[in-house]
Each structure stands twice: as structure tokens, then as C-alpha cells.
């Protein structure tokens, strides 16, 4: 029977919050890889998906103090393929949704701390901000031009977070609709994915480096479709510290991420997840 995984990174994702024991990699061919998932960075009341800029900087400083080294997604892929190496304690930073405040606040903090990150953008949000309301830290998303700027900064790699599937209706994220045939589902997911992929190339000059499931919802069929489209790295919202190994590319198709709840301080957050 087909095994289905439905994982949530919006409201339901918080059910997975919990401590994770610190674990050591087994050999030089393996690494423990925590992937942290941020969303909005804004000097406003924090919540499960919004963090103040000074707390983001505190996180990066404390991670370095604990021996972690910020790595790029490209570094991770090269390690798994056996064409590159990683530090003994790598950490991968990600930002979901493509908020404009990631550009106007987070990018400078990342630069200052010598960190890099993956920025997973939602195409229809970017299109709206490009044509209607742009450059408002509170509610705008990055424009197509701004995505190109941040990608060329050397700070951000850009990921595909769907063009129009980051929604609760008519389907929950990319999940299959009731009564939808396998062929119809594959066509819908492929068209949405490729639409954003082509828009990023044409309007931003950027190739998508990965895919991030909207709300963290996925199953084996969606994984197969995205992998067939050429995606080697796919992010879930399952809160765990990943073990990656040279030669084991399958692990990159289900990378877990730890949501950064802005309502707790840096030390409490890192301690809670065994970092």
C-alpha cells in the first residue's frame, strides 16, 4: 500500500516542535546537518513565523559560538556527490515565502555574520508585488528584479516554493485533490513547478536550486514527479536533524527543517533542538 506522508509547515507544522538529541556523525563520510527554517524578519511582535532582526543575528552569532559553520546548498550537494567537503558541524539556513523583509533586513545580517541561506519564493506572491505593492517590509514579497539582486549577492540561493500552490484551496499545498486522476495530478504539479522555474529564469536570471513543499505537505508521488523534473534537493517541514552521507543522494529528497519560532530566545531555541 502506498505510504503517504503529510507534513505541515504552517499551523500544523508546530505539532512537530520538540527537542532533538545531539548526535555525532558516524564517519568522515557522514555529517549531521541541521536545516533551520525562517520566514518573516521584522521588528514587530514575534510569532511562530516571524522573528525580529536582532534575534536572527543572535542566532547566527550563537551558532558560530557553538562551532557551527554556515554552508550553502551547493556545498551540501557536492558533499553528497563526493565532489566536495563540509565542515564537521555544518548548518544550512533557509527562508520560506520570499518576503521583502528578507532582502531589506536579513540579507545584511547574513553578510555581516558571514552566513548564507536558501530563499524559497512563491511565484504568484512575487508577481503581485512586482506589479502592485512592492518594497513594504510588513507585507510585500520580493519582486522578480529583487530576486535577481539577492541571488547575485552571493548570500542567497533561490528555491522553488510553487507558483500558485501555496494555498489551502482548491488543494492543500501540492497534495492531490479528491477525485483527481494520477495523470491530472502529475500535469498540475509539473505545470505549476515549471511555470515558476521558467519565470525565475526569464525574469530574474536565476535557476531554482531546490524545491520546498508548501506547508510541508507531500507524498511519494509528488516526490517522484519533482525528482523527474530535475530537483535533486527537496525540503520538507519534518523537524529533525538530517544525517547526510556521501553517495546517498536519496537523503536530499527529504531534508527535514526546524522551524524558527520567533517567540523564544536564541539559547532556548538551540538547546530545545539539541544544537
90-114 pLDDT tens trace: 999 999 999 999 999 999 999 999 9
Nearest to 117 by CA among 240, 238, 30, 209: 209
Segments of the chain with pLDDT less than 50: 1-26
pLDDT at 185: 98
Strands of 136-210 (E only): list them.
156-160
What tens digit of pLDDT does each residue of 142-178 get? 999 999 999 999 999 999 999 999 999 999 999 999 9
Question: Are residues 263 and 48 in contact, defined by beta-carbon separation less than 8 angstroms?
Answer: yes
pLDDT at 28: 83
Going from the N-terminus, what domains does the chain have, and what CATH number goes with each?
26-272 (3.20.20.370)
Model pLDDT, residue 33: 98
Pair 39, 161: CB distance under 8 Å? no
Specify whether the CB–CB gap between 6 and 219 falls below 8 A: yes
- Kindly report whether the global pTM for this prediction surpasses the value 0.85: yes
Amino acid at each position: 500500500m502506498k505510504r503517504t506522508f503529510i507534513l505541515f509547515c504552517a499551523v500544523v507544522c508546530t505539532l512537530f516542535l520538540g527537542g532533538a538529541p545531539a548526535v555525532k556523525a558516524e564517519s568522515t563520510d557522514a555529517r549531521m546537518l541541521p536545516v533551520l527554517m525562517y520566514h518573516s524578519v521584522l521588528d514587530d511582535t514575534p510569532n511562530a513565523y516571524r522573528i525580529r532582526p536582532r534575534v536572527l543575528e543572535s542566532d547566527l552569532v550563537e551558532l558560530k559560538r557553538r562551532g557551527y559553520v554556515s554552508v550553502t546548498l551547493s556545498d551540501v550537494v557536492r558533499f553528497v556527490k563526493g565532489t566536495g567537503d563540509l565542515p564537521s558541524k555544518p548548518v544550512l539556513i533557509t527562508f520560506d515565502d520570499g518576503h521583502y523583509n528578507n532582502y531589506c533586513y536579513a540579507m545584511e545580517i547574513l553578510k555581516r555574520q558571514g552566513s548564507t541561506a536558501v530563499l524559497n519564493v512563491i511565484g504568484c506572491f512575487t508577481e503581485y508585488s512586482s506589479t502592485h505593492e512592492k518594497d513594504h517590509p510588513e507585507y510585500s514579497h520580493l519582486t522578480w528584479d529583487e530576486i535577481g539582486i539577492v541571488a547575485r549577492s552571493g548570500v542567497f540561493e533561490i528555491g522553488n516554493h510553487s507558483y500558485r500552490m501555496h494555498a489551502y484551496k482548491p488543494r492543500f499545498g501540492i497534495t492531490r485533490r479528491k477525485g483527481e486522476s494520477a495523470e491530472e495530478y502529475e500535469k498540475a504539479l509539473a505545470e505549476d513547478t515549471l511555470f515558476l522555474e521558467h519565470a525565475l529564469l526569464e525574469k530574474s536570471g536565476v535557476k531554482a536550486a531546490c524545491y520546498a513543499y508548501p506547508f510541508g505537505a507531500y507524498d511519494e508521488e509528488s516526490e517522484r514527479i519533482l525528482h523527474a523534473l530535475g530537483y535533486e534537493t527537496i525540503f520538507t517541514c519534518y523537524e529533525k536533524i538530517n544525517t547526510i552521507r556521501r553517495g546517498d543522494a536519496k537523503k536530499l529528497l527529504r531534508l527535514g527543517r526546524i522551524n524558527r519560532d520567533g517567540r523564544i530566545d536564541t539559547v532556548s531555541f538551540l538547546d530545545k533542538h539539541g544544537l
